[in-house]
């Protein structure tokens, strides 16, 4: 378990030392496209799931990444911190928490993530379907959303459970890999190895 804490602490330290940069919460999420090719996009880090190393991302159920993750739940995050020159590549499996999820605890987590976002960001889930052609050339009208209303159907929470973490510090030329495995009690153990940068 110590290695899990080690990589998470490295990430928390990087977030803290780069917090003055607005883009420090942006990361790239790569999935396997429905055509078998890589598919990548920028998403926003929304924190860790309570008492875990699992990474939270909010998204729209109507985006291509949802279709891709339903076919193959494997994904990788790549996160680069420009001030501290640190890169994290976090590989794992993604759990999709949408309005149809049967688990009440997961639905509570989805609702918590919904209300943690600004009203402006929540209103984006009422926009037309992402990725489809624009039918109206006029500027987007402001959508009003009651801030007390719970998650709309298009809102989805992604929870990435890390299996491997590749950490690279370009200032110190240090690279560490963290790999997880399940022990006899089905608990996750992490092994860390120093590798050449």
Domain boundaries, the chain: 2-195
What is the distance of C-alpha 188 from the center of its chain? 20
Q: How confident is residue 1, by pLDDT bands cut at 50, 70 and 90?
A: very low
The residue with greater pLDDT, 189 or 80, is 80
Q: What is the mean pLDDT of residues 111-119?
A: 95
Q: Is residue 51 left, alpha or beta, with left meaning phi > 0 and alpha meaning psi from -120 to 50?
A: left
| Rounded Cα–Cα distance for residues 98 and 68 (Å) | 15
- pTM, to two decimals: 0.91
pLDDT at 2: 56
pLDDT per position as a tens digit, 74-94: 999 999 999 999 999 999 999
Strands (E), the chain: 26-32, 38-44, 55-60, 74-81, 86-97, 155-169, 174-182, 188-195
| Of the candidate ranges 19-23, 96-100, 139-143, 184-188, the one whose mean pLDDT is the lowest | 139-143
User: 142 pLDDT exceeds 80?
Assistant: no
Pairing state between β 74-81 and 26-32: antiparallel
DSSP state of 147: T
Instruction: Give me the CATH topology for the region 2-195.
Output: Pnp Oxidase; Chain A (2.30.110)
């Amino acid at each position: 378990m110590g290695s899990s804490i080690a990589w998470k602490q490295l990430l928390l330290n990087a977030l803290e030392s780069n917090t003055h940069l607005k883009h420090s919460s942006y990361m790239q999420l790569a999935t396997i496209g429905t055509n078998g090719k890589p598919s990548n996009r920028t998403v926003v880090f929304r924190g860790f799931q309570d008492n875990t190393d699992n990474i939270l991302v909010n998204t729209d159920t109507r985006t291509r990444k949802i279709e891709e993750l339903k076919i193959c739940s494997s994904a990788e995050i790549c996160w680069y911190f420009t001030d501290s020159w640190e890169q994290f590549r976090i590989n794992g499996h993604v759990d999709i928490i949408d309005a149809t999820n049967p688990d009440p605890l997961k639905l509570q987590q989805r609702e918590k993530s919904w209300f943690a976002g600004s009203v402006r960001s929540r209103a984006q889930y009422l926009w037309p379907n992402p990725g489809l052609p624009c039918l109206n050339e006029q500027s987007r009208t402001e959508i009003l959303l009651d801030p007390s209303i719970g998650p709309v159907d298009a809102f989805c929470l992604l929870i990435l459970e890390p299996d491997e973490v590749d950490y690279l510090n370009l200032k110190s030329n240090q690279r560490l890999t963290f790999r997880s495995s399940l022990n006899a009690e089905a608990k996750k153990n992490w092994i860390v190895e120093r590798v050449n940068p």
